[in-house]
Each structure stands twice: as structure tokens, then as C-alpha cells.
Amino acid sequence: HGIWAVIPAAGSGKRFGGEVPKQYLEIAGRPLIAHALDALLAHPAVEGAVVAIAANDERWPGWTSRCGKLLLRCTGGAERADSVLAALRALPAAVAGDDLVLVHDAARPNLRQDDIARLIAAASQHPDGALLAAPVRDTLKRADAHACVLATAPRDGLWRALTPQAFRRAALTSALERARVDGVVVTDEAMAMERMGAKPMLVEGREDNLKVTTPADLALATYLLSL
Ligand code: CTP
Ligand code: MG
């Protein structure tokens, strides 16, 4: 079975600010999206990737292959989940319904091979799929609209969901379609699957697989990539 990667890259990076969408900012001589793509395509089990880009994107370099593997593009949508669904629909017809798809943010440039390997191993064994995640380290506060603490939330059993997230193509496609029909904005693939009753497996991933959201994150990602 071949595994395909899906890269949502149709965001505008509002929280980051600036004119260039963050996925096109360069660290170590390559844009973030190239780091994200190349990490996935370097894995021997990954056959190719579909990238979802914004309809008005003038910066997409037009790559049709990288690392000797096929690269397809499609037009993303208004929410991240819309972009992922568009990319799933653009997968080659040869991708089977029970083949695994790895969904990974274009804004996560620091993905390591050992995390990909452990994720694929877990998702292959687990019928409901798997995602990289990291245990919450800080004490969590619930606050009101004025930032006054209401309560401390128990941290045990709480994880931060990272990407990639690995699910079977047909199950993920119908879960995302269902969330859209229900008018629910899902912020990751696992959330769409959970709504269908799935219990995906958490695979503890490296803390340095960070999503670049702000300029400070970009500086941190640059440093972490240099290690
Ligand atoms: N994304 C997407 N389509 C959207 C929104 C987001 O493909 N409609 C992608 C982004 O390009 C990014 C990933 O989803 O690679 C994670 O989203 P996020 O970090 O929120 O990026 P942006 O939405 O671009 O940033 P912001 O929320 O600050 O505007
Ligand atoms: Mg966003």
C-alpha cells in the first residue's frame, strides 16, 4: 500500500502578519513549505503529495515533483479542513480507500524522520488512525472574558495535537464531509474522526515539531533546524 501526504498550505498567516504568507518564508535557504514537503517525501513509504494552495496564490513555485516523487496541487478553501478535503479529492484514483494519508501543516518545517516512522507504524496497526502529539507541560487556567482565573484545569491526560496525522483515505474524507454538512469547524483531522466515534492513537512526538504561527516561532524554528 502506498501512503500519500496532504499538505494544507492555503492559509494567509493572519497571526504572523506581513505580506508574504508564512509558508513561503525561508529558513535555511528553503521556504517552510519545502521543509514540510521534503521531510514527508523523504520517507520511503510516502509515494507522493498533494498541496492545497489559495486560489489567489501567486507565490506557488509550480513544483510537480520533489525528492523524485510526484507532487500534485489543488485549490484550498476558506478553512483548513476545506483545504484538506480538497486535497483528499485531488488524490490519484489509484489511492485506495483504506490507504493511509498523512496530513501535515505547511507551517511545520521541523518534522523528523523518526516521528514519521513511528506515526506510520502506529497508524498501520490501529484501525482508527493516529496522530503525533505532545503532553501538556504547563499548568492550565480557565479564565473569564476579563482574564480573571475561574479554575485550574487538571493537566493529566491532556495532549497537544501536532501533525502529521494519519488516517485512512475514505474514512477521513467522509468524516470531513460530515463535519462540513454539520457546520462544525474541525481544527484537525482527528477531531473530524472523533465526531464519527473513532478513537485515534496518540503517538508522542518531538516537542520541536512546532507550527510557525508568529515571528518568534520562525526564529525558534530556524534555531531548532540548525541543531
Ligand atoms: N491552511 C489552509 N487553508 C486554510 C487555512 C489554513 O490550508 N483555509 C493551512 C495553513 O496554510 C497552514 C496550516 O493550515 O499550513 C495550519 O494553519 P495555521 O497555522 O492557522 O495557518 P494560517 O491559517 O495561515 O494562519 P492564521 O490562522 O494566523 O491566519
Ligand atoms: Mg489558521
Residue 74 belongs to domain with CATH number = 3.90.550.10
* pLDDT for position 1: 63
pLDDT single digits (tens) 120-167: 999 999 999 999 999 999 999 999 999 999 999 999 999 999 999 999
Q: Is pLDDT of 187 > 90?
A: yes
Mutate to test the pocket of ligand 1, among 7, 12, 186 (most ligand atoms within 8 A of CB): 12
Q: Is pLDDT of 2 > 90?
A: no
Residues with CB under 6 A from ligand 1: 8-16, 23, 52, 76-80, 83, 105-107, 211, 213
Q: Is pLDDT of 35 > 90?
A: yes
Report, as an integer, the average pLDDT of 35-59. Answer: 97
Answer for the pair 72, 50: CB distance below 8 angstroms, yes or no.
yes
| Ligand 1, atom nearest to 15 Cα | 28
Of the chain, the percentage scoring pLDDT greater than 90 comes to: 99
Grid coordinates given for 176:
470531513
* pLDDT for position 188: 98
| Ligand 1, atom nearest to 105 Cα | 15
Report, as an integer, the average pLDDT of 68-78. Answer: 97
Report, as an integer, the average pLDDT of 82-100. Answer: 97
Per DSSP, which regions of the chain are E strands?
Answer: 3-9, 26-27, 30-31, 46-53, 65-66, 69-75, 100-103, 130-135, 140-143, 149-153, 159-168, 201-204
- Which ligand does the CA of 109 lie closest to? 1
Number of domains in the chain: 1
Binned at pLDDT 50, 70 and 90, residue 86 comes out as very high
Q: Write out the residue range of the structural domain in which residue 24 sits.
A: 3-226
pLDDT single digits (tens) 205-223: 999 999 999 999 999 999 9
SS3 content of the chain, % helix, strand, coil (to 5): 30, 25, 45
Mutate to test the pocket of ligand 1, among 73, 84, 105 (most ligand atoms within 8 A of CB): 105
Report, as an integer, the average pLDDT of 51-80. Answer: 97
Kindly report the pTM of this predicted structure: 0.97
